Amino acid sequence: MSSSGPPNGGESLFSGHQLLGTNPIYLVIGILVMVAIGGVVEIAPLFYLKSTLEAVHGMRPYTPLELAGRNIYVREGCARCHSQMIRALRDEVERYGHSSLAAESMYDHPLQWGSKRNGPDLARVGGKHTDAWHVAHLTNPRSVAPQSIMPSYAFLMTTPLDARELVANIQTDRQVGVPYTNDTVANAMADLRAQVNPDSPEAAALLKRYPKAVVRKFNRMAADITEGDALVAYLQMLGALVDFNLYDNKADLH
């Protein structure tokens, strides 16, 4: 009688597969080979591209005060409850604004995209509220949002900003690709003070180095520069640098 099993070719193919399934050494070698092939296919083309990130008109590095505020944002774990990434879905765009662009995070180390929304997305919060609103919200969240579960950060409004490591922070960001220049490093402390003092002679120079920087005293509860000033300055620039009318009209953003 003829055998009902697969032809010899099929038996040979199955035997090879069985060898991988029963011998862990061959299985590991096979996995490494497949991972290597996939890695080459995905990574190698990146070395032949001028840039994997589209440049967008308006983006710039953080001002020293904004960077200090961002460091406070990271320190307090704000990304655990607030995302900074609006997906290209109708409900998200209608609620939060234009979907996020990759270039908007190009100077973020680490990224603050977040994965939870106990609170609203903050990618477009810049300019949506007054400084006084932010100060009130951080001091007592339920004074402006009765249903809020956010804890109070009132201590930020009375804590003087410690800027001793700010220049080192800027130099570190520069080493990982953020385009800070010798000029921005040398004037970091002057720019920090100028951003909360619009009448100072250094304010004009700050705006040349950092276009669209918001120059004013953010936290009027204290005369000195506080952590509240820095955090509100950071929040007020989120999503406020890119002209999305140009983007939506498909104009040249480079």
Is there a contact between 89 and 100 (Cβ–Cβ < 8 Å)? no
| 222/135 Cα distance (integer angstroms) | 11
Say what the pTM is.
0.80
Please give the pLDDT value at position 191: 98
Please give the pLDDT value at position 18: 74
Stretch 213-231: mean pLDDT, rounded? Answer: 96
Please give the pLDDT value at position 7: 54
- Domain residue spans in the chain? 8-48, 64-248
DSSP state letter for 116:
-
What Cα–Cα distance (Å) separates residue 226 from each residue in 115, 127, 220, 223? Answer: 29, 20, 10, 8
Reported as a single tens digit per residue, the pLDDT across 155-179 is 999 999 999 999 999 999 999 999 9
Reply yes or no on whether the pLDDT at 16 is more than 50: yes
Reported as a single tens digit per residue, the pLDDT across 67-90 is 999 999 999 999 999 999 999 999
Is there a contact between 83 and 118 (Cβ–Cβ < 8 Å)? no
Alpha-helical (H) ranges within 119-210 are 131-139, 166-175, 182-186, 188-194, 202-209
Which one of 1.10.530.10, 1.10.760.10, 3.40.1010.10, 3.40.50.1110 gives the CATH number of domain 64-248?
1.10.760.10
